[in-house]
Amino acid sequence: MQILVPLINVIISGLILGSLYAVMSMGLTLIYGIGRIFNFAHGAFILWGGYFTWFLCTKFHLNYGVSVVLGILILFPVGWVVDRLLLYPLRRKPNFEINAVIVTLGLAILLGNAGDVIFGTRFKTIDQLTEGLLRMGRFTITHHDIATLVITVAILLFLELFLRKTTLGTAMRAISQDPVGAKIVGINLDRLFAFTFALAAALGGISGVLIAPRFFITPAVGWETLFKAVIIVIFGGLGSVKGTLIGAFILGMLEAFISMYLGMFWVSPMWFILLIIVLFIKPRGLFGTWA
């Protein structure tokens, strides 16, 4: 039992990290799966989920819960506008894939640093979703972590139901399988691309709200989350929801074990080594589906 206690603690923290990462990278997967865009600005959306919530809380003195919900909801129109202004025109020109990468990279640099200019560089942070600790014998777990797990499961269920059961979700899956066929049966591709981008931005906002209480909200957080999400989505296979989910939990668990037994420092090198091994064996990631 004495040996098992730290082990179980590590597994619990691995699960929590995994669920955090799953929400973090799901937006990337959706955008790639449906619009064939790799969105480098996803980290900036995550960051802005934190900024909006912080801003509404401290400057408008809104109720915490209201700020969280509004902070996430604001990102929906933001994502829509980004798709309309930047990606919609590019879709009609050659070299869309690489142009989209470079444009979203530019957007990431712009949005990522805009927060410091608008709000000043002092440290910003937001409260945890719920305060307090849950004790079960020798194990303790914060309420925020439990909330993270619950929210992750809720989001994944919502996405699953949305993609399977609603007309909109079915249309989105149709596009990801065959854009031309989807167009022939009368699906408005442009509107759905914008919708997907908006939905992904809002998902980024949710993970921003979950991540922000753990760190200060700084431009660096946006990049760190983006690079973690990059590794997760290649590992799981670009555009595969299942792959992203499994990748997030494997890498989250790995991170928990490494930081327990080797030190935090080794997490990124180990992730990279594992990524290279997976790519050598399965070049498209665990569940990659691209043609």
For the record, the structure tokens of 250 come out as 């494997």
Among 6, 89, 173, 188, binds another protein (CB under 8 A): 89
Q: Does 233 bind another protein (CB under 8 A)?
A: yes
Q: Does 283 bind another protein (CB under 8 A)?
A: yes
User: Whole-number minimum distance, CB 257 to another protein, in Å?
Assistant: 18
Helix intervals (H) in the chain = 4-35, 42-58, 64-82, 88-91, 96-119, 143-165, 167-177, 179-184, 189-211, 219-236, 241-261, 267-281
- Looking from the CA of 7 toward its CB, the CA atoms found within 13 Å total 4
Q: Does 146 bind another protein (CB under 8 A)?
A: no
d(CA 138, CA 101): 48
- Beta carbon nearer to another protein, 145 or 193: 193
User: Whole-number minimum distance, CB 190 to another protein, in Å?
Assistant: 17
Select from 127-135, 156-164, 246-254, 278-286 the region that touches another protein (CB under 8 A): 278-286
- Beta carbon nearer to another protein, 54 or 235: 235
Closest CA to 229 of 27, 83, 11, 15: 27
* Contact of 78 with 48, CB cutoff 8 Å: yes
For 214, the 3-state DSSP assignment is: helix
Among 117, 136, 180, 185, binds another protein (CB under 8 A): 117
**Interface mask (CB under 8 A) for another protein, residues 28-47, using x and -?**
----x-----x---------
Closest CA to 200 of 58, 88, 55, 33: 33
Q: Does 107 bind another protein (CB under 8 A)?
A: yes
Stretch 172-231 residues interacting with another protein (CB under 8 A): 223, 227, 230-231
* Contact of 233 with 28, CB cutoff 8 Å: yes
User: Whole-number minimum distance, CB 116 to another protein, in Å?
Assistant: 6
Residue 290 DSSP one-character state: -
Site residues (CB under 8 A) for another protein? 32, 38, 86, 89-90, 93, 95, 97-99, 101-103, 105-114, 116-117, 121, 223, 227, 230-231, 233-234, 238, 265, 268-269, 272, 275-276, 279-280, 283-284, 290
